[in-house]
Amino acid sequence: MTRKQLPQPDRGEIRVEAVLQALGEPVRLQIVRALADTPEGIACGEIELPVTPSTRAHHLRTLREAGVLTTHTEGTRRISSLRREDLDALYPGLLSGVLSAEQ
């Protein structure tokens, strides 16, 4: 069982435009909501989404490159979780404000 962290921006490299653009897409917002409910992280495939696996991978990459989530491998699975600490430090209130919206 190998464990590896996928490449992601450092906290200082996160740009607010990228974060907002990442969050502004319905499928990606759905992913973020799912991750917010499971702080321990979740395997990508376990989130129910109305898109194919390849599109799902695309959205997860977008979120990771924007700095919204972090992903590490656990065997063949990839576990993702919100970078809540980083986001709260950079943009206090943003994430909680977004999540407070009734979907």
Partner DNA sequence: CGAGTAGTTCGATGAAGATCGTACTACGAA
Partner DNA sequence: TTCGTAGTACGATCTTCATCGAACTACTCG
Q: Residue 52, interface with a second copy (CB under 8 A)?
A: no
Q: Residue 83, interface with DNA (CB under 7 A)?
A: no
Q: Residue 97, interface with a second copy (CB under 8 A)?
A: yes
> Judged by CB under 8 A, which of 21, 43, 57, 77 binds a second copy?
21
Q: Residue 45, interface with DNA (CB under 7 A)?
A: yes
Minimum CB separation from DNA for residue 9, in Å?
16
Q: Residue 34, interface with a second copy (CB under 8 A)?
A: no
Give residues with Cβ within 8 angstroms of 71, minimum separation 6: 5, 6, 8, 44, 60, 64, 78, 79, 80
Query: Is residue 59 within 8 Å of residue 27, measured between CB atoms?
Result: yes
For 11, 52, 81, 85, the CA distances from 16, given in Å and listed in that order, are: 11, 28, 19, 15
> Judged by CB under 7 A, which of 44, 66, 87, 95 binds DNA?
44
